[in-house]
Amino acid sequence: MSIQNILVILRANEEQLRRLQEAAPEAHVLRQSVKTLTKEQVEQADVIVGNLPVEFLPHTKGLKLLQLNTAGVIAPYTDMAARQPGTVLCCATGAYGPAVSEHMAASLLTLMKKLHLYRDQQFQGLWADQGNVESPRGKQVLVLGMGDIGTHFASLLSDMGAVVTGIRRRPSQPPAGVQRIASMEDLDSLLPQSDIIAMVLPETKDTMNIMNKRRIGLMKPGSYLVNAGRGSAVDQDALVEALESGRLAGAALDVTTPEPLPAEHPLWKQKNALITPHISGNFHLPLTLDLIYEIAANNIRALQGKAEYLSRVDPQSGYRA
């Protein structure tokens, strides 16, 4: 398939743009800021790299490939791809595993080792022992969402001596470091057995409020909740109750609902809550952006029949095909 124009609306350095050019040597590669983007540029593009603002989606009739820079795919993009069978939709699953999983592990260890309490003491000039700490070693870890990020997190926790069970939409063979892959039907029976619940789920109709009040009530006393997927997956009022009562040992949240979390929200006041402003992915780790451009270059080659697509999205489910 011929590619004439590649429009890049994601930040890029010369090396990253060179990778795209090498993938389609005859194409014109244009790097354009979203702030100055025009509908004419979108209409002329064969390939767009980056999350195209929703208001420009009606101008993508001739688009052959939309390469998103996010792992999650929201409805406007899947709706566009469903209406335009000639447009291939790919996400950036595969780019965020190292960054997000390391953030999750660091946040969990901060809570387990009480580093957040010592940090609070530091600003008060207090030298006080906070008592016993915990280790992931020997803990039962349940990972909801065994995609790229979940698999990376499972590997990190397994290397620390934890016993990891993963949950996918359908049971499958477990990857290295994972004892078992279960399905969502097993969730209620696994929650009371798990010391750590890690969530990296996309936002779909099936994942909204999946950790509701009833399921938070099923969690093992003294367990931890880590969420780096979507804030909408957790009933935050029920989580506040569980933290205030001391039934849960801690919660590490990189996502909330809404975002930003209002300053008066009671989650901010929870002693054993660690909240970060949805920054575990993003591009704070330079490797993430490099991996996105590797995926994009591969998919440009795939559009020409020279490779297999990576992270191609099924418009019906919103997941990787």
List active site positions.
230, 259, 278
Task: Decide if 232 contacts 257 (C-beta within 8 A).
Answer: yes
Task: Decide if 237 contacts 209 (C-beta within 8 A).
Answer: no
- Bridge partners for 30 per DSSP: 7
Task: Decide if 319 contacts 205 (C-beta within 8 A).
Answer: no
* Amino acid symbol at 73: V
Token pair of 178 as six digits: 């994972």
Residues 6 or more apart in contact with residue 70 via CB below 8 angstroms: 51, 91, 92, 281
Burial of 176 (0-12, 13-18, 19+ CB in 10 A): exposed
CA gap 112, 105 in Å, rounded: 10
CA dihedral 20→24→26→28, nearest 10 degrees, is -40
Token pair of 128 as six digits: 């006080």
Token pair of 215 as six digits: 């399921």
What H or E segment, with its residue span, contains residue 29? strand 28-31
- Nearest of 185, 183, 234, 184 to residue 209 by alpha carbon: 234
Task: Decide if 248 contacts 267 (C-beta within 8 A).
Answer: no
What is the bridge-based pairing of β-strands 180-183 and 163-168? parallel
CA gap 321, 82 in Å, rounded: 13
Task: Decide if 217 contacts 157 (C-beta within 8 A).
Answer: no
